[in-house]
Amino acid sequence: MIEIDDKVLADLRSGFSLPAKPEILQSLQDELNRDEPELNRVAAIITEDVATSAAVLKVINSPAYGMSRTVTDIKQAVMFLGMNCITQVVTGHLLKSAFEQDDCCISLQRFWDSASDISQVAMLIGKKVNSAIPVEDLQLLGLFHDAGVPAMAMRFKDYHDVLMRAAQRPEHPLIEYEAQQYPTNHTVVGYYLASSWHLPKRVCQIILRHHDPVFFQDNDSGVEKQIMATLKLAENFCFEIKHFRSCADWHAFKDDVMLALDLSDDDYNDVKEDVEEFLIG
């Protein structure tokens, strides 16, 4: 179990220059918190920012969303996906835009490409194994679950070396190598960032605990277990397809993931084939 106390948060506030929540996201959240949020106002807020509008349409028309027709404007997008889902898509785009490469000791392009793959694969898995899993949570978690990594890379100039050590010795997850070097890790920093952007509480908790195998024993929510399981499965599939081996912590999660998603070994292989076709073509 991971505990976040006030001292940890105070240390993060003093030691990290994390991206502030963008105004457009605040405006969307304010609208959604109204007693009667309006579709037209949500669309208008997004449309005011040309770059955000273009990015949202690109995401929505990607194969992961499986739209039967091309979505050509933001109002259509809000109608098709709903206001909560469209806000999560906007949040993902804003997150990617919030970090500056000049301030970071890792390649942000490579990082976000990998996060985007996990996000799209998580949505694909969700639709295939259980259509009741909220697709907007999967989309956002795929992008946001490791958002503490670029934040760590901005704070610590030797962070690239720690990532390389974890890649060369994959028998341990990244957080163990971080613990040897730093007073915090990317899950805690990611949780703090997600909380400061006022992401849904269950998304923040899964970001905090996505390397904590006790999550499934501690959690009573079937939906949260399914969301976490889908993220871990997507993470492992993407890693296996690229590196021909499992993620460092897959062995600790596999049984709980298979149980939460009600997957047999044959089901697992079927889904993996679909993911390979999606990623490799």
* pLDDT of 245 above 80: yes
Question: Where do the structural domains in the chain lie, given as residue ranges?
Answer: 1-17+101-281, 20-98
Compute CA 146 distance to the chain's CA centroid, rounded to the nearest angstrom.
Answer: 7
What is the reported pLDDT for 233?
97
Could you tell me if 24 and 52 are in contact, meaning their C-beta atoms sit under 8 angstroms apart? yes
Task: Give the model confidence (pLDDT) of 88-116 as tens digits.
Answer: 889 988 998 899 999 899 999 999 999 99
List, in sequence order, the alpha helices (H) in the chain: 6-15, 23-32, 39-47, 50-60, 74-81, 83-97, 108-129, 135-144, 148-155, 159-168, 174-181, 186-196, 201-209, 215-218, 222-243, 250-260, 265-280
- Whether the model clears a pTM of 0.85, i.e. scores above it, the answer is yes
* pLDDT of 3 above 90: no
How far apart, in Å, do the first and last CA atoms of the chain sit? 39
What is the reported pLDDT for 226?
96
Q: Which residue has the tokens 């804003």?
A: 94
Task: Give the model confidence (pLDDT) of 177-214 as tens digits.
Answer: 999 999 899 999 999 999 989 999 999 999 999 999 99
Task: Domain 1-17+101-281: give its CATH code.
Answer: 1.10.3210.10
Q: DSSP code of 20?
A: P
The predicted model gives 42-65 an average pLDDT of 89
Interhelix angle 74-81/83-97, rounded to 10 degrees, is 120
Whole-number percent of the chain with pLDDT over 90 = 68
Could you tell me if 206 and 246 are in contact, meaning their C-beta atoms sit under 8 angstroms apart? no
Task: Give the model confidence (pLDDT) of 204-221 as tens digits.
Answer: 999 999 999 999 999 888
User: Who wins on pLDDT, 251 or 170?
Assistant: 251
Instruction: Give the model's confidence band at 11: pLDDT under 50 very low, under 70 low, under 90 confident, else very high.
Output: low
Q: From CA 233, how far away is CA 227, in angstroms rounded?
A: 10
Both tokens assigned to 114: 């990998």
